[in-house]
Amino acid sequence: MTAFTRGSKQTVPNSFGIDPPRLAAPANAADCHIHIYDPRFQPAVAKPASSTVADYRLLQKRIGLTRVVIVTPRNYVTDNSVTLNAIEQLGPDKARGVAVVRPTVTDAELQSLNSGGIRGIRFTVGQPKTAVVTIDMIEPLAKRIADLGWHVQLNMESDQIVEHAPMLRRLPTQIVFDHMGKLGLSGLGQPACDVIRGLLDQGRAWVKISGAYMNTRVGPPTYADATPVAQAFVNAAPERLVWGSDWPHPTPTDKPDDAVLFDLLAVWAPSEKTRHRILVSNPAALYGFPKSD
């Protein structure tokens, strides 16, 4: 499959606007955080509409993206079939996945997930009442996936990061923090930022500079109050960052303009060399994409 031609003005489900971004995506640019909701796979709770692989291909075409990482949403609990199917549709050289599992998962199931393109497991634990996994599952599961070379992906609140910092520091796997560690609303001067920075400095963690709308009170089009956090990470550890759209944007009621979100990279990482690292080189290292076509 060749890279998509940038510049489509076709409407994309769950995305505002039709114009392409001003910023040109480099060849093999990766969107490292999306979700697929396919009506052929029944979720446990309600899902966003029109969020299939075919729908996402429209966004790839609009933005000029080639590679993608599909994250199983909590709606499917621990059924990762929708993610595995999406990887198969998009192609094993272009797609990877992050699964959701519990300690009851068997070693054979982990091997099957690995063969299907899964490269990490996610823990969304910010709202315990609706979470399908718990913090006490992180360490035992990390020990089981370490030999597979997978990472642990965390969607945690800042106070949880601080409370469980000793556990995070002793995990045998790499750690990926979702959505800039969700630090934007509280700013950089907080203990959670120090925990994440320490793990980055030790080469133990990665950060997704994504989810600008989760890290702002200002909002679009500038998301100006999220910018200092993103820039701080870019300045501190550009070799440990990846970018994601978070399409189909399950959190906000009003869907954002994905071209605007992508163009934030021009502000957050003004250097073309750094953006290439964030969009191409780093995803290849973290998710095992081919280094060249």
Active site residues: 246
Give the integer Cα–Cα distance in Å for 171 and 22.
40
Is 221 in contact with 192 (CB distance < 8 Å)? no
Which residues is 175 bridged to in the sheet? Answer: 152, 205
Give the integer Cα–Cα distance in Å for 174 and 151.
5
Ordered alpha helix ranges (H), 105-190: 107-115, 138-145, 158-163, 165-169
Give the integer Cα–Cα distance in Å for 239 and 182.
20
What's the token pair of residue 257? 């303009």
Q: For residue 167, which phi and psi values (nearest 5 degrees)?
A: -65, -45
* Burial label, 275 (beta-carbon count in 10 A; 0-12, 13-18, 19+): buried
Closest Cα to residue 153, out of 207, 232, 201?
A: 207
Per this entry, what is the length of the chain? 293
Torsion sign across C-alpha atoms 283, 229, 260, 17:
positive
Is 105 in contact with 92 (CB distance < 8 Å)? no
Ordered alpha helix ranges (H), 19-145: 53-63, 81-90, 107-115, 138-145
Give the integer Cα–Cα distance in Å for 248 and 12.
10
Is 139 in contact with 164 (CB distance < 8 Å)? no
Is 119 in contact with 173 (CB distance < 8 Å)? no
